[in-house]
Structure 1
Amino acid sequence: MESKSRVLIVGVTGRLGRHLAEASLSSGHPTYALVRATTLTSSPEKSQLLQSLVSSGLQLVQGSLEDYPVVVETIKQVDVVISALGSFQIMDQKNIIRAIKEAGCVKRFIPSEFGSDPEKIRLPDPSYTFHAKKSEIRRIIREEGIPFTFISCNYFATFLLPSLVQPGLKCPPRDKVFIYGDGNTKAIFVKEEDVAAFTIKAMDDTRTLNKTVYLRPPGNIQSFNEIVQLWEVKIGKTLEKIYVPEEQVLKIIEENSYPSNFEMVFIYSAFIKGDHIYFSIKDSGVEATELYPDHKYTTISEYLDTLL
């Protein structure tokens, strides 16, 4: 039998990292995680998570991205490196790229993207976002000739959907709902477990080498109006709908500074500009559910069921 690729995950205790580790381990890959020593003692929740992953076979390597010799030696032990660093650490990936180049053994690098394609975003002011930093990391990877796969899942299901896309709310409304734009532009939401599963499937696939893998599951592409309609059917009640035009959305964004306005920025990008779906992926990459039709993913409707 062909041996499984050895995988290093950076950012394993983050929002997506744990799911990547679980998916990698369940697929039989020897899986490593670079973890700061302080993480093991400073956060009981993270410590418990790591203990659970270790019991499932995860191998911990103590160190940080600042410990460059440790990073290089760790990368020399693996075939695939997956970064799940948070948005404020995007540029820290330069050390990963440098170490991958020095190690010379990595067959695939998957940088921390897992959102909208940063090269397709059409926001009015790029200073709002970290997309420019993600584009910069892409540029460096290409220039260094490092084999890569970029994962564009658009939005996680746990972002915006728990409030029915109502900034400031903790749960979906049952009386009235604000709909930004005309409500007809479609956006894409994918559950983190599915993002991780598709990522692990793609990391060794020759069809995804040096390409962007877009996650566009048919059951996860919905307009604002369609999401509200799904919720109304589930609760058996019609909500009062207040439509907020594009001009007013832009005013709200302009009157608040980043990151306090980040939810509205992302709502504008997806539900008004249509940044998830306005382009064809034929010339940009490949689509995950077409490559892996057997994966049973959680639809938006199924996710909303968990909020009842």
Structure 2
Amino acid sequence: MAQCKSVLVFGATGLVGTHIMRHLLAKKARFDRIAVFTSRNTVETKSEVVAQLKAEGVEVICGELTNADDVKHAYEGIDTVVSAVGRNMIERQIELIRLADEATSVSWFFPSEYGTDIEFSSKSAHEVPHQKKLKVRAAIRGCQNLDYSFLVTGPYGDGDPGLYFSSNTGAEEAGSFDATAREAVLLGDGNVPISFTTMNDVGKFLVLALLHPAASRNKVLKVNSFTTTDHEILAEFEAQTGGTSWRTRYTSIDKLKDLEAAAWTASNPLATLFTLRRIWAEGGTLYRQRDNHNIDAEHVVDTLADAVAAAILVQAQGEKEVKRKLT
């Protein structure tokens, strides 16, 4: 099985991409070449981040995703492509995949799959947020010369705005853990198991998949940090914030469906959030099995306690940043 020796990353300075790069660099001795493809605008607006990547020995290739010649140039000498583009760029990967299939050196592609299992059940094919990822899967499975790996992680167990362990300000009814106010909104009855992966572990899993090609090429890898319920998450938040009970309320599945339908009707940007939260609250995630052991990741993952501690810190830092901007 061919080893990954030269890797190109799209979206390397984004929310998940930064974690992927950190773990790639921790294992850089295992690779001959690590490169990132980024826009000239990113080079200017994230100059410190780009400078640090260069200092770590990363090759920074400037170009535009919409320019086929820029992408073809970036693929030269690369055997593996890792995409960490955001949801707004998911469908654009179809052209990146086509060009990779035509490239003489590229043989392996990781599309930006991190998240909900889009082929979990027969209902998955009809979920609105899954459609672009399903098109990407169809495109890559139709390639003649390109292997793939779909790294399916479930929802992120992090406290960054909008993520599951956040206060979810502005959309609290879709679920919320507010460590400052010590208030929570739980989904359904709060007892449905959901598989989570911290963004730190997304980077870890990605690199381990690169280093275990026999276990990951042309596979759907279902990995996760831990499986838990809303009640268990709340209990950990309470334990780490003084041990007192939080004010808690619930959003029923029916209420979540109503919010979801209204958001799609109104073309509300929160519609995708409501749909994904409803899918998770109904059990539409990957807790039934995981492939951690296939890539030697069984005992190196973050725990629920780790994730909650990090989320509390992120929420506190976010509150300080808001206050700083207001003063």
- Measured against the shorter chain, the TM-score band is 0.7 to 0.9
Amino acid paired to 1:224 = D
* Partners of 2:22 and 2:299 in 1: CA distance: 16
Q: Which region of structure 1 is more displaced relative to structure 2, 48-57 or 114-123?
A: 114-123
Q: How does 1:100-115 map to 2 (within 5 A)?
A: 100-115=100-115
Per the TM alignment, residue 3 of structure 1 is displaced from its structure 2 partner at its CA by: 8.4
Identity percentage of aligned residues: 22
TM-score by length of 1: 0.86
Q: How does 1:71-220 map to 2 (within 5 A)?
A: 71-120=71-120, 122=123, 126-127=127-128, 129=129, 131-145=130-144, 146-158=146-158, 159-163=163-167, 167-168=171-172, 171-172=178-179, 174-204=181-211, 205-217=213-225, 220=226
What do residues 139-181 of structure 1 show as CA deviations (whole Å, max 9, x unaligned)? 1111113201000011122212022899346843655432210
Query: Which consecutive residues of structure 1, in runs of 5 or more, have no partner in the other structure?
Result: none
* Partners of 2:168 and 2:307 in 1: CA distance: 11
Per the TM alignment, residue 62 of structure 1 is displaced from its structure 2 partner at its CA by: 1.2
Amino acid paired to 1:264 = F
Query: Which consecutive residues of structure 2, in runs of 5 or more, have no partner in the other structure?
Result: 314-327
Q: Compare the two structures and name the one with the higher helix fraction.
A: 2
TM-score by length of 2: 0.82
* Partners of 1:143 and 1:123 in 2: CA distance: 20
Asked if the contact 1:35–1:61 (Cα under 8 Å) also holds between the matched residues in 2, the reply is yes
* Partners of 2:125 and 2:27 in 1: CA distance: 42
Q: 1:303 aligns with which of 307, 315, 323?
A: 307
| 1:277 corresponds to | 286
Root-mean-square deviation over aligned CA pairs? 2.6
* Partners of 1:157 and 1:56 in 2: CA distance: 28
* Partners of 1:212 and 1:6 in 2: CA distance: 22
3-state DSSP of counterpart to 2:306: helix
1:237 equivalent in alignment to 2:244: yes
Per the TM alignment, residue 206 of structure 1 is displaced from its structure 2 partner at its CA by: 0.9
1:261 equivalent in alignment to 2:268: no
Amino acid paired to 1:142 = R
Per the TM alignment, residue 277 of structure 1 is displaced from its structure 2 partner at its CA by: 3.2
* Partners of 2:23 and 2:147 in 1: CA distance: 21
* Partners of 2:40 and 2:271 in 1: CA distance: 34
